[in-house]
Chain A
Amino acid sequence: MPLTLSDVAVARGGVPVLSGVSFALSAGEALILRGPNGSGKTTLLRTIAGLQPPLSGDIKGATDTVAYAGHADGLKAMLSVAENLSFWAAVYGRRDIAPALAAYALEDLADRLTGTLSAGQKRRAGLARMMVTERPIWILDEPTVSLDTEAVGMFAQAMREHLGAGGMALLATHIDLGLEARVLDVTPLRAVRGAIHGASDEAFL
């Protein structure tokens, strides 16, 4: 089922940041979000992942199909890489973490505590988590932060396999991954201040 956004507006901290976002994403496609800091890329991704409601507009096809990876990796420092991945695999009803370990060359690190890994190794483990979810839509916020060239290559390869298998991906990144992906620049979609009502948290105060 394709992911469709129609005229979506999102707010961060009660301030509207983006409005009029519309696009459709079907199987095998990737969309890269571009825009300066604070332009609302993260907010848009979190909204599509269902972590916050949109101010207005419709998001279709994102229910129970999304795997989200934000700035934090969602890994426990005091558990080993394998324990972390097995936990997430079990939450998503999967068992086998071997392909995910292999894709990011984590076999040798599998028994190390995640807290003792370097930032790049941790990020690789975080990205491997996306593979054990086996969900069709990957939502990735700056996935290549702290990765070296080789690891970026692993990530691009994993993305190609995911898209080749009919998956979809939404990324906010500034690095060219060599993927055939459409680019959406969110700069022109910046919401006009005060133009949208209901953005504040007044209802809860």
Chain B
Amino acid sequence: MTALLIRDLRLAFRAGGGFGLGLAFFLILVVLVPFSVGPESALLGTIAPGILWLGALLACLLSLDRLLALDFEDGTLDVLATAPLPLEAALAIKGLAHWITTGLPLVLAAPVLGILLNLPAQGFGWLVVSLALGTPALSMIGCFGAALTVGIKRGGLLMSLLVLPLYVPTLIFGAEAARRGAVGMAVETPLLLLAGISLGSVALLPFAAAAALRMTIR
């Protein structure tokens, strides 16, 4: 299992591995927001938590279609499916590798981008906490979506259509926690629900993803 994690991380940092793509997309998206809604700092401060969460979610989505598609094309998935490592564990590890290379950099970059959007000072901590709790769910749900569509040529768009509705609960509670943090309200309820979604996804979705993958690699 460690070998798979190390391999996926190593591949992400090699040429064409896509590390930093999501991060760069997040950066550009957030920089574009003041251009589109205008430089009014009060308005930007109000919408900042929501924009940052939406940006993180889209950045996560962007890198999903390479999560399994590359392994499918070069035959790695066939070999993994016949290897001693259970497919469920392999997919959980791939989800984790995706989170480390995409979700974690987003969490770390979010406070910097919060400054660009004039996020109130008290909201920074809660923004990071909510993203740290929510992005594992984004990676794992994405892994499930990737497993469903991996056999389809150019299945990226279909995967986005399947995955985005599944992201809705994570987005609602994540953005709500960040918003409440920014205006100084109690954040426990949305944070707990967000953590629940993440834990549930991490616990259950590897099994769903493995079941879906067994169908698609037939």
Contact = CB atoms under 8 A, between A and B. Distances in A.
Interface residues of A, number: 30
A28 to B, nearest CB: 22
B10 interface: yes
A72 B81 contact: no
Interface residues of B, number: 25
Interface in B8-67: 10-11, 14-17
A1 interface: no
12 contacts: A46-B218, A50-B81, A50-B82, A51-B78, A51-B218, A70-B78, A72-B73, A74-B78, A78-B15, A79-B11, A83-B10, A92-B84
SS class of chain B's interface: helix, strand, loop or mixed?
helix
A76 B74 contact: yes
A49 interface: yes
A86 B14 CA distance: 17
B84 to A, nearest CB: 6
Interface of A: 46, 49-52, 64, 66-79, 83, 86-88, 90-93, 129, 204
Contacts of A49: 78, 82
B152 interface: no
A69 B75 CA distance: 9
Nearest to A126: B75
B81 A51 contact: yes
A79 B10 contact: yes
B14 A78 contact: yes
Given A51-B218, A76-B7, A64 B74 contact: no
B10 A71 contact: no
A71 B72 CA distance: 12
B7 to A, nearest CB: 5
A75 B74 contact: yes
Nearest to A12: B218
Contacts of B4: 87, 91
